[in-house]
Copies of this chain bind each other. A is one copy, B any other.
Amino acid sequence: MRKDIPEQRKEQLINAAFETIGDVGLAGITLSQVAKEAGMSTGIVSHYFGDKEGLLHATMRKVLRDLHDAVAAIRANAGRDAQSQLFAIIDGNFDPSQTSETSMRAWLDFWAASMHSAELRRLQRVNDHRLFSNISYQFQRVLPLREARAAARGLAALIDGLWLRGSLTGEHFDAHQASLIARDYVEQKLVACV
C-alpha cells in the first residue's frame, strides 16, 4: 500500500533536518538549509510543521523512535532470560544506526537543548524512563528490588556514558569495546546470584 504523499514529504523534511543537524548542529540549523537539503521550498516547513520548533520536535521524536526500534529489533531476536535481554538492550543502544556520527551529534544536541525547552525535556524524560524501566525489570527477575534498581541506574548510566564519550572521539565509535564493558557490568551484577 502506498504511503500518502504528505506523510512522505514530512518524513523527507525530518530526515533533512536530521542530516542538517549532523552537519551544523541544532543551534546553527536554518530552515533554508533544511529545505535545500530536502529539495523543497522554504515555506514548506510552516506548511507541514507550523514552525521551526514543530519540525525540530518531530525530528527529536524520530530520533527517539529510531533508538526504540533498534533496541526492540535486537531484543526480539534475543533469548528470553534476563542476561540475554540486557545484552540485547546494550547492543540496541550501540547499534550502527545509533552510533553513526550524525546520530550521535543529533542525540547530544537534543539532549542539551532539552535543558532549555520544556517539550524537549518531556520527550527526553519519557524515553529515558522507558530505558530505565526496561533495564530495571530485567534485573528484578534475578535481583532484589533495591539492588536491581541500583544496577539499572548503573547500567543505564554506563550505556549513556560510553555513548557520550564515544561521541567525542571523532573516529568510528567502537561499539564492540563499549558493548564488552557494558556486558561485563551486567555479568558482575548477575554473578552474585548464581
Contacts and interface: CB of A to CB of B under 8 A. Distances in A.
Interface of A: 24-28, 104-105, 108-109, 111-116, 121, 124-125, 128, 150, 153-154, 156-162, 164-165, 167-168, 170, 177-178, 180-181, 184-185, 188
A71 to B, nearest CB: 17
A160 B161 CA distance: 5
A165 B170 contact: no
B25 A116 contact: yes
A185 B25 contact: no
B165 A128 contact: yes
Given A161-B158, A165-B157, A26 B185 contact: no
A24 B113 CA distance: 10
Nearest to A115: B105
Contact of A168 (B113, B124, B167): B124
B105 A108 contact: no
A180 B151 CA distance: 11
Q: Which 8 A-B pairs have the closest CB atoms?
A: A161-B161, A157-B161, A27-B27, A112-B112, A25-B116, A160-B161, A157-B162, A105-B115
B168 A157 contact: no
Contact of A181 (B116, B128, B157): B157
A180 B26 contact: no
Contacts of A177: 150, 153
A142 B108 CA distance: 35
Contacts of A167: 115
B105 A116 contact: yes
B121 A168 contact: yes
